[in-house]
Homo-oligomer: A and B are copies of this chain.
Amino acid sequence: MKDNNDMPGHLARRFQQIAVAVFLAEVGDAGFDMTPVQYAALATIKANPGLDQVTLAGLIAYDRTTITGVIDRLVQKGLAERRASRRDRRARELEVTDEGKRTLRKITPAVESAQRIMLRGLSAKEGEELMRLLHKAIAAGNELSRAPLREVQA
């Protein structure tokens, strides 16, 4: 009888659950109110100023319907801006505000600390191996979800 705990799907869920809890705890202790999803979106906007929502979704593998709400909240907190594009009036160009940049700078240590904590049961070598295997499994399954990773076109 196969136990739930021997199923990769169940382990995936539990690891993610812990990862989110650790992230929120570290970031919260540092005095910030931001989710992992919001952080990834904000950091990606900063690295690609002026990108549109679909491109952002592709870069971090979010569903396009999820991005809408995430950006709503970043905008509402004053960390990002959403402007109509002039080249394509359907699209919204995204920018990080000055306060968003300040927040990103100050929050980074807590984010990095969270990444260490969620691997604290593993040696450095095991941690790297886990990352490698996750990468490989994800690459093979990328197209199986509605929100696959998409590279930017040059």
Minimal Cβ-Cβ distance residue in B for A7? B115
Instruction: Give every chain B residue within 8 A of A130 (Cβ-Cβ).
Output: 8, 130, 133-134, 137
Chain B residues, Cβ within 8 Å of A25: 144
Of B15, B37, B141, B145, which one neighbours A138 at CB under 8 angstroms? B15
B131 contacts A118, C-beta separation under 8 Å: no
Q: How many copies does the complex hold?
A: 2
List A40-61 residues whose CB lies under 8 Å from chain B: 40, 43-44, 47, 59-61
CB contacts (< 8 Å) of A47 on chain B: these are 1
Report A111-148 residues with CB < 8 Å from chain B CB.
Answer: 111-112, 114-115, 117-122, 126-127, 129-131, 133-142, 144-147
Q: Residue on B with the closest CB to A108?
A: B2
Task: Report chain B residues within 8 Å CB of A118.
Answer: 8-9, 12, 137, 141
- Contact flag A19-B14 (CB < 8 Å), given A117-B141, A122-B137, A137-B130: no
